[in-house]
Amino acid sequence: MNDAPSWQWPESQWRGHVNKVRAGQSLAHPDPALRWKGGAKAAVLLSFDSDHETPSLRDSETSPGRMAQGEYGARVGVPRILEMLRLYEAPASFFIPAVCALLRPDEVPTYVEQGHEVAVHGWIHERNTLLSYEQELDLLGRATDVLHSQSGARPVGIRTPSWDFSDSTLDVIRELGFVYDSSLMADDEPYELLADGSPTGIVEIPVEWIRDDAPYLMMDRFSGLRPHMPPRQLVQIWKDEFDAAYAEGGVFQLTMHPHIIGHRSRMLVLAELMEHIRTFDDVWITTHADLATHVASQLTTRMTIS
């Protein structure tokens, strides 16, 4: 390990860091008529990170108050979210840590029964940059096995806890055979991940803090973290993001958390967003897994043709 300050690094070192995990070719089909399923103009991906108690458990913050705040997500937020998704006939992707699944063995089967995707979100919402390759592989492997057992199908996608990516994460994702990742931010549209410049065949469905409820709505009474935006202002940002994605014929991807978005006033504006989206007839609302399969098949076709 070179402990020199970054401005003293040789080119091989800073170039190596940049190229470790990189965005490859865009997987949005160049023909807009073929870009999304059924000829849709744009795709909408709703996702929920069902973290519940695990961010606090990860940090050994085990007070009843902390546990209750997480419990709200499973006890109140999830049922509200599932009902809203039913009303708007919107399949969604639920990324859930294995510890949450083990605490409530009926949660994952409920998602599946209602037509939603279940995907991996770590073991206990661990900080993977603090782990060795072996530790990260062990935790994500066991998490995958838990969700496989409870859902009846092996998960094909992963979102790393806190969207954190270690130097080993991509190797672990490849070792475990995931079809897609949804943790990185190099584009608005899906793209292929490169490992040290080489194509991996893994689809990246990018996220962004702009399209996440946590930066706007989280609260911690012992720090400076305070909700800084009323829900009715936030929904306008998300409407604008959707409208721009629609105009470009792209993907509108949204990340939410049941313990954050699941409160009454916030569910009201999420419903307002869904009402807005549903005014468009040519929008494909789908899961991350279905979109990944769709764009991956396009990549295979283009590689074959060329």
Radius of gyration for the chain, computed over Cα atoms and rounded to the nearest angstrom: 19
241 DSSP 8-state letter: H
Q: Is residue 273 part of a domain?
A: yes
Q: Is residue 4 part of a domain?
A: no
d(CA 206, CA 229): 24
Domain residues for 81? Answer: 21-305
46 DSSP 8-state letter: E
What per-residue confidence (pLDDT) applies to 304?
47
Q: Is residue 12 part of a domain?
A: no
Distances (CA, A) of 89 to 12, 73, 116: 51, 21, 11
Which CATH number do you get for residue 183?
A: 3.20.20.370
d(CA 47, CA 49): 7
What per-residue confidence (pLDDT) applies to 305?
41
For every one of its 306 residues, what pLDDT tens digit does the chain have, with 9 covering 90 and above? 557 999 999 999 999 999 999 999 999 999 999 999 999 999 999 999 999 999 999 999 999 999 999 999 999 999 999 999 999 999 999 999 999 999 999 999 999 999 999 999 999 999 999 999 999 999 999 999 999 999 999 999 999 999 999 999 999 999 999 999 999 999 999 999 999 999 999 999 999 999 999 999 988 777 777 878 899 999 999 999 999 999 999 999 999 999 999 999 999 999 999 999 999 999 999 999 999 999 998 776 555 443
Nearest to 294 by CA among 205, 161, 197: 205
- Cross-strand partners of 49: 95
**Helices 264-277 & 78-87, crossing angle to 10 degrees?**
20
What per-residue confidence (pLDDT) applies to 302?
57
What per-residue confidence (pLDDT) applies to 197?
94
**Under 8 Å between Cβ of 193 and 181:** yes
d(CA 81, CA 46): 11
Q: Is residue 173 part of a domain?
A: yes
Provide CB contacts within 8 A for 27, sequence distance 6+.
189, 190, 191, 192, 203, 295, 296, 298, 299
Q: Is residue 69 part of a domain?
A: yes
Q: Is residue 71 part of a domain?
A: yes
Q: Is residue 232 part of a domain?
A: yes
What per-residue confidence (pLDDT) applies to 225?
75
Q: Is residue 87 part of a domain?
A: yes
- Domains in the chain, number: 1
Q: What is the pTM of this model?
A: 0.95
